[in-house]
Amino acid sequence: MVEVPANISDNLYSRLRSEFSEEQLIELSAQIAFENFRARLNRVFNVPSDDLYHPENANEKHKSPATSAAMSSAR
């Protein structure tokens, strides 16, 4: 949705539809569009990043405790 034009393939739509209801997809799409709008508006007014996202740590932060424990014991 963040690419121009904002088209998605039938394959991606089918995969999303298997996980989400039509209403959930509408809400998800609206939220993605809103965040895209905010990001573009911030750039127009040179609003700096809050520096909250650090890609190098993203995988660790989003793992559940069970996943993290399983990964630790596997090492």
Domain segments of the chain as ranges: 10-74
pTM for the whole structure: 0.56
Are the beta carbons of 20 and 28 closer than 8 angstroms? yes
Which of 2, 4, 3, 1 is closest to 13 using CA atoms?
1
- Enumerate residues 6+ apart whose C-beta is below 8 A from 71: 63
| pLDDT at residue 45, as a whole number | 93
Q: What pLDDT, in 10s, does the model give residues 17-60?
A: 999 999 999 999 999 989 989 989 999 999 998 888 888 877 76
Among candidate residues 55, 2, 53, 62, the one with its CA nearest the CA of residue 32:
2
pLDDT in tens, 63-74: 555 555 555 554
Strands annotated E in 1-75: none
